[in-house]
Chain A
Amino acid sequence: MTNPSVQDKASVLSVEKLSIALPEGGDRPFAVEDVSFAIGRNEVVCLVGESGSGKSMIAHAILSLLPKGVDIVSGAVKVVGQDTAALDRRALRRLRGGKAAMIFQEPLSSLNPLKRVGEQIEETILTHQQPVPPAAAIKARVQELLTQVGLPNPSLLANSYPFELSGGQRQRVMIAIATANQPELLIADEPTTALDVTTQRQILRLIDDLRRERGMGVLLITHDFGVVADVADRVVVLRHGKVVEHGSVEQVLRNPRDPYTRELIDAVPKAHVKSRESASHATPLLDVVELRKTFRVKRGWLQPPREVVAADGISLTLHQGETLAVVGESGSGKSTLGRMIMRLTEPDSGAIRLGDQDLRLLRGEALRQARRGLQIIFQDPFSSLDPRQKVGDAVARGPMAYGTARDEAMAQARQLLARVGLTPSAADRYPHEFSGGQRQRICIARALALRPKVLIADEAVSALDVSVQAQVLALLAELRREMQLAMIFITHDLRIAAEIADRVIVLQHGRIVEEGPTAAVFTNPREAYTRDLLDAIPGRRFFDQPNFARQREALA
């Protein structure tokens, strides 16, 4: 691996042969082993890898934020020429938020909930600028920063609390805090993972604009090759704490040398619509008619309750063997829709017809019987399995609840676990012994144990790494063919919708804005909102057009 820029005097960050040891008893001796790379001024370097690859460890080591018991054993990290491990507390404090700043994944938990946004930005300026500027100058600077990060009405916003802002706005505030003292290095640790595609694009563009204006070096940590394709100059691919590939974005993405990099890039859903034979339209299996739901949130004794419309007359049909993707941004009501069909959330009005029954009118035992035909897979495989129940029991419990004998149900459970790609002996183990992808397979086996007609997957692969995501999607596609399942696939990721769905519904504010066969929606969207969503898919142009070369100075 040639690495010419390590010696570059102008680099704002240089990581030299860095090794970080994990405490004894970990799954490997080193979190990060012999990693070298550098970032120059006005350069964006992406650190890519799956969960557990050690990418966040490197970011934390740069600002000397490593947890107790995890230490740098060899190599060094130099920020603007200073070795951070050698700095005393005072010098470190000056560095953090001064010359080098960091943005985290979850903007809500990185802002103080009890302080107004403006105060939090002021604080950063007060801590770092000596002598302390006059109060009026600080106020003016806060306004300027909020304007720079593209927030409307900065004076009103400075007086807001974090909970009053949207996720995208919060991340903008975090960027304002991070850039308040003109840092030379900005570290962004998965800054857009918790955000919607459209917001993601705006935030990435903002980071890129600020980078260009100020000549900052940016270290962007991500697991998404789409994001890499959009913003990176150079890419460092990590696996199990080691650098497997390092080079310019064109070189790594177009001609990956390492098989692992190739695998990761191939696993990225490319939003290529696959042609499918459309199912013959007999009578629909599931018929949802005019579902409405408004959530009322109590605010105070005198204030009227806040109303959030989650479903504003949603109708849809689903046929046997068909996959319907429901896409939309967070707050569009897509999860509520799935939960209402499952009767986990009570709709205000409308009908859910499965076969000849209206699920909405059923109660008690009749509802229990009808639920058999509908199953759901949740987003978070860590909270959707009972930590104190063996995996086999989790799968067998459903059929047993409907009268299957225990031995028979357990035998079926073992078969199903084998079918979803686990060993039958998995049945005797507890969920915590499995990885996220394996747990999601268990959840799939559990949902299929009842032989449902309709399977609802609520962001079922969103919490997984890309390579695992691809495997789970392939499994779902196979099972769907085998069992003639009808599937409702709820997702915010349009790339996944394109890969798996026959038809797509685009939701916005609880209303269907566009509906149609996947190919039609993706290639020829009618609504501006759909077009916005499609344009925001990270890396779309890069992957769609083999000759597309990103302009160095202009993003999208």
Chain B
Amino acid sequence: MDAVKAFLRHPSGMAGFVLLIIVLIVAITAPVLFPVSPWEMSGTPFTPPGEDGMWLGGDTLGRDVAAGVAHGARVSLLIGIASALAAMTIGVMIGAISGYFGGKVDLVLMRVTELFQTVPAFILAILLVATFSPSLLTIILTIGAVSWPPLARLTRAEFLRLRGREFVEAALCQGESTARIVLGHILPNAISPILVVVSLTVATAILLESALSFMGLGDPNLMSWGFMIGAGRTVIRQAWWMSVFPGLAILVTVLAINLFGEGLSDVLNPRVSRRRA
């Protein structure tokens, strides 16, 4: 409860939160605001913004850019959040096992993590998506699979720190099971920094998805921001609006999530919030 109150008083965090809510509302109300499919060629190609009933103009085939941005928000947020959750599941599991048990298990798991960290994430993502034909599910899983190592490292560090704490040892002496110690004592005390990193992972996941769509590796049935920029890029000198508006959408969303994440980090970090108090 205190954390919520402190967050309400955090200016940049709240700004991020408000922006995020706006993006979310646009995403949810997209079918109402733009009932016509974003793939529909509803106007003349190359319509500048504001003309022909299209606020943000039309693209090379006369599709409404505004409709594309609104519907793209659904895809970006869905993929961003789902793949961050996938990354969290993999990362927290590996980090927790590694940090709690230590020894040989830790050694092996951390080498695997390093393997993933040394291969550039984007190249690996391209490779994976290209191998398993692009669809919503494969894109989510791919982004999850390339974004978990920082989470695993963080979780491991938190577990190492907490495992030696006296309240964990006291729980051990009280005969509590390993599962209860991990889920009931260590994880709740490690969750704050993990949540912050997960929120930032959402932002990078959105960027990754945009980059994949830009390369033409997005789900062909989904209108996404990256796809729109990719499609408009060849005519950017004649028709800037085709790539600038989806680009701005990405900028605003990622910025909002980063501000929100940093606000969360300040509020949940006891040292910082105590200084503030």
Query: Which residues of chain A have a CB within 8 Å of any CB of chain B?
Result: 342, 344, 368-369, 371-372, 374-376, 378, 380, 383-389, 397-398, 401-402, 443, 446, 449-450
Contacts and interface: CB of A to CB of B under 8 A. Distances in A.
Contact of B174 (A344, A380, A387, A397): A397
B115 interface: no
Contacts of A383: 165-167
Nearest to A387: B189
B173 A342 contact: yes
B52 interface: no
A384 B170 contact: yes
B173 A344 contact: yes
Given A386-B189, A388-B188, A401 B166 contact: no
Nearest to B167: A386
Contacts of A443: 170
Max chain A CB contacts within 10 Å: which of B172, B173, B176?
Answer: B173
7 contacts: A371-B174, A371-B175, A375-B173, A378-B166, A385-B170, A398-B175, A401-B177
Interface in B153-178: 165-177
B185 interface: yes
Interface of B: 165-177, 180, 184-185, 188-189
Contacts of A372: 175
B167 A344 contact: no
Given A376-B170, A386-B168, A402-B175, 10 more contacts: A342-B173, A378-B166, A383-B167, A386-B185, A388-B188, A389-B184, A389-B185, A397-B176, A398-B175, A446-B170
A434 to B, nearest CB: 14
Nearest to B165: A383
B167 A450 contact: no
Contacts of B171: 386, 397
Nearest to B187: A388
Nearest to A368: B175
B176 A385 contact: no
Contacts of A389: 167, 184-185
A401 B172 contact: no
Contacts of A342: 173
A385 B167 contact: yes
B180 A384 contact: no
A384 B167 contact: yes
A387 B192 CA distance: 13
B171 to A, nearest CB: 7
Contacts of B167: 383-386, 389
A422 to B, nearest CB: 18
Nearest to B177: A401
Contact of B189 (A376, A378, A388): A388
A389 B169 CA distance: 15
Nearest to B188: A388
Nearest to B184: A389
Contacts of B169: 344, 376, 378
B174 A450 contact: yes
Contacts of A450: 174-175
A471 B3 CA distance: 36
B165 to A, nearest CB: 6
A115 to B, nearest CB: 26
A376 B169 CA distance: 9
B177 A374 contact: no
A385 B167 CA distance: 5
Contacts of B172: 344, 371
A446 B174 contact: yes
Contacts of B170: 376, 378, 384-385, 443, 446
Contacts of A385: 167, 170
Nearest to A395: B174
B5 to A, nearest CB: 14
A479 B183 CA distance: 33
Contacts of A401: 174-177, 180
Nearest to B168: A386
Nearest to B191: A388
B173 A374 contact: yes
A218 B167 CA distance: 40
Contacts of B165: 383
Contact of A398 (B176, B184, B185, B189): B176
A385 B176 CA distance: 15
A398 B174 contact: yes
A389 to B, nearest CB: 7
A372 B172 CA distance: 10
A83 B169 CA distance: 51
B166 A380 contact: yes
